[in-house]
């Protein structure tokens, strides 16, 4: 019995010693493990902080500004007008454009050339086509001024919203620039000729596309900043009177009669002008026809005249 108790005591002491050793080793492992974790976190903390700031900076750069959020609209207008003083109206149009901060992109003047009794040359029935570029902020003001320069017969205004197209270009441009940066980094690390050639070819394509998109964006910016106004100016002897929308049947008949008479007068006038211009040609043609007719008649009379022998036989 005593021997059994002794064995139990020895086993208990051994178990206690093993537990004590385990307790001492556990805190040491926990300590070193904690120290390692803390060190790794300390090393990663600046990187994470920096990464967070970089990400926030990228997001801040990608956030559209107030100007970018505004609508991108291209305004154009077509104006047809007539004037009794062509030179004054033409000068007034160009002066108005310059006063608005715009410019004349294209212009052309046409007319008919006539000669008076003294031989001087005059140009009549003139028309002009203008392409004006006006700052978008002055678009409405310029159209108002045009209405006071001559008699506006027609006016069409168009507003084209290119916001979506503009945004797509910007997003594509950002993506291409990021790809260009990655290709440049890979190009520095490339260690064989094939990789260098492939990367340079891809980089050339990316740069070409970047240039194309930047050019398109510049064109859109130009069209957005400067509206386009097409003006057709015609010289007339007098303005056509404006007629109220509500007209009686007699007014409509009278207007139709007056319009028909005016068209007839214009047609006769054009015909007289044509005859005047072709007078010498008509005279020469008439002389030629008369000569031909006389020759033909003379030959016909000779054929019909009886011969002397035939007259004697008949006697």
Indicate if 193 and 134 belong to the same structural domain. no
Q: Count the domains in the chain.
A: 3
Residue 311's SS3 state is helix
Indicate if 96 and 154 belong to the same structural domain. yes
The rounded radius of gyration (Å) of the Cα atoms in the chain is 48
pTM, rounded to two decimals: 0.56
Where are the strands (E) in 1-60, listed by range?
A: none
Q: What is the pLDDT of residue 85?
A: 92
Flag whether 275 is in a domain: yes
Among the listed residues 114, 115, 110, the one whose alpha carbon sits nearest the alpha carbon of residue 126: 110
Alpha carbon 228 to its chain's center:
9
Indicate if 89 and 119 belong to the same structural domain. yes
Q: What is the pLDDT of residue 72?
A: 93
Give residue 275's domain range: 249-303
Flag whether 77 is in a domain: yes
Last residue of a domain, one of 193, 210, 225: 225
CATH of the domain at 79: 3.30.70
Indicate if 110 and 77 belong to the same structural domain. yes
Indicate if 174 and 158 belong to the same structural domain. no
The residues, ordered by sequence, that sit 6+ positions from 187 with a Cβ below 8 Å of its Cβ are: 196, 199, 200, 203
CB atoms within 10 A of CB 186: 15
Flag whether 36 is in a domain: no
Q: In this structure, what are the phi and psi dihedrals at residue 179, rounded to the nearest 5 degrees?
A: -65, -35
Flag whether 283 is in a domain: yes
Flag whether 314 is in a domain: no
Indicate if 263 and 205 belong to the same structural domain. no
Q: What is the pLDDT of residue 173?
A: 96
Last residue of a domain, one of 225, 258, 273: 225
Give, for all 315 residues of the chain, the pLDDT tens digit: 444 444 444 445 455 454 444 444 444 333 333 333 333 333 333 333 334 444 444 444 444 444 445 789 999 999 999 999 999 999 999 999 999 999 999 999 998 877 777 777 777 889 999 999 999 999 999 999 998 999 999 999 999 999 999 999 999 999 999 999 999 999 888 888 888 899 999 999 999 999 999 999 999 999 999 999 999 999 988 776 655 556 678 877 877 877 788 788 878 877 777 777 777 778 888 888 888 887 877 777 666 665 555 555 555
Flag whether 112 is in a domain: yes
Q: What is the pLDDT of residue 159?
A: 94
Last residue of a domain, one of 131, 162, 193: 162
Q: What is the pLDDT of residue 30?
A: 36
Indicate if 104 and 172 belong to the same structural domain. no
Flag whether 29 is in a domain: no
d(CA 205, CA 192): 20
Indicate if 99 and 169 belong to the same structural domain. no
d(CA 97, CA 228): 11
């Amino acid at each position: 019995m005593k021997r059994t108790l002794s064995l139990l005591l020895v086993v208990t002491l051994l178990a206690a010693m093993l537990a004590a050793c385990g307790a001492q080793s556990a805190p040491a492992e926990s300590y070193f493990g904690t120290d390692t974790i803390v060190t790794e976190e300390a090393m990663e903390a600046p990187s994470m902080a920096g990464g967070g700031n970089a990400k926030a900076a990228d997001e801040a750069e990608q956030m559209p500004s107030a100007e970018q959020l505004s609508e991108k609209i291209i305004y154009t207008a077509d104006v047809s007008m007539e004037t009794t003083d062509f030179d004054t109206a033409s000068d007034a149009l160009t002066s108005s454009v310059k006063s608005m901060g715009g410019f004349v992109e294209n212009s052309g003047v046409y007319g008919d050339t006539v000669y008076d009794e003294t031989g001087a040359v005059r140009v009549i029935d003139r028309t002009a086509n203008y392409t004006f570029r006006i700052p978008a902020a002055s678009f409405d003001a310029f159209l108002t001024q045009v209405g006071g320069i001559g008699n506006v017969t027609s006016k069409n205004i168009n507003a084209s919203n290119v916001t979506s197209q503009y945004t797509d270009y910007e997003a594509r441009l950002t993506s291409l620039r990021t790809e260009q940066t990655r290709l440049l980094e890979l190009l520095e690390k490339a260690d064989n000729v094939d990789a260098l050639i492939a990367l340079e070819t891809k980089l050339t394509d990316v740069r070409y596309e970047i240039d194309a998109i930047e050019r398109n964006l510049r064109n859109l910016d130009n069209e957005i900043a400067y509206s386009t106004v097409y003006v057709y100016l015609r010289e007339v002897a007098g303005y056509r009177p404006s007629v109220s929308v509500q007209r009686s049947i007699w007014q409509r008949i009278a207007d139709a009669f007056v319009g028909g008479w005016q068209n007839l007068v214009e047609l006769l006038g054009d015909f007289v002008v044509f005859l005047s211009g072709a007078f010498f040609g008509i005279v020469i043609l008439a002389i030629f026809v008369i000569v031909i007719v006389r020759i033909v008649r003379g030959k016909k009379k000779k054929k019909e005249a009886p011969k002397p022998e035939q007259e004697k036989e008949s006697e």
